[in-house]
Amino acid sequence: MGRLTNHQSATVSEDQILAALRQVQEPELGGDLVSRQMVKHIAICDGIVRCTIELTTPACPLKDQIRSEAEAAVLAVPGVREVHIEFTANVRRPAGIPEQSAIPGVANVIAVAAGKGGVGKSTVAANLAVALAQMGAQVGLLDADVFGPSLPLMLGVRGQPMAVSDANGQPMMLPLSNHGIKVMSVGFLIDESQPVIWRGPMVSQLLRQFLYQVAWAPLDYLIIDMPPGTGDVALTLAQSLPLTGALIVTTPQQVATIDVIKAMEMFRKVNVPLLGIVENMAYFIAPDTGKRYDIFGSGGAERLAQQLGVPVLGQIPLGMSVREGGDNGQPAVISDAPDAYADIFRELARQVAARISVLQYAMV
The tens digit of pLDDT for each residue in 306-316 reads 888 899 999 99
Per-residue model confidence as pLDDT tens digits over 327-345:
999 999 999 999 999 999 9
Considering the four listed CATH numbers 3.40.1410.10, 3.90.25.10, 3.40.50.300, 3.40.50.150, the one that applies to the domain covering 99-363 is 3.40.50.300
Q: Does domain 2-89 have CATH number 3.30.300.130?
A: yes
* Binding site feature residues: 115-122
The predicted structure's pLDDT at residue 66: 92
Binding residues for ATP: 115-122
Total Cβ atoms within 10 A of residue 292: 13
Characterize 106-121 residue by residue with b for buried, 16 or more Cβ atoms within 10 angstroms of its Cβ, and e for exposed: bbbbbbbbbbbeebbb
Q: What residue segments make up the domains of the chain, in order of their start?
A: 2-89, 99-363
Using the predicted structure, report yes or no on whether residue 65 has a pLDDT greater than 70: yes
pLDDT band, residue 96 (cuts 50/70/90): very low
- What pLDDT band is residue 57 in, cutting at 50, 70 and 90? confident
Which one has a higher pLDDT value, 124 or 116?
124
pLDDT tier at 178, thresholds 50, 70, 90: very high
pLDDT band at 99 (very low <50, low <70, confident <90, very high): very low
pLDDT band at 256 (very low <50, low <70, confident <90, very high): low
Q: Exposed (0-12), middle (13-18) or buried (19+): which is 305, by Cβ within 10 Å?
A: middle
Mean pLDDT of the region 83-91: 90
| Greater model confidence, 141 or 191 | 141
Do the beta carbons of residue 226 and residue 121 sit within 8 Å? yes
- Kindly report, residue by residue over 200-232, the tens digit of the pLDDT: 567 777 788 888 899 999 999 999 998 877 666
Cα–Cα dist 156/98, whole Å: 35
- The more confident residue out of 186 and 139 is 139
pTM, two decimal places = 0.82
Instruction: Tell me which of 268 and 22 has the higher pLDDT.
Output: 22
238 against 152, higher pLDDT: 152
pLDDT band at 93 (very low <50, low <70, confident <90, very high): low
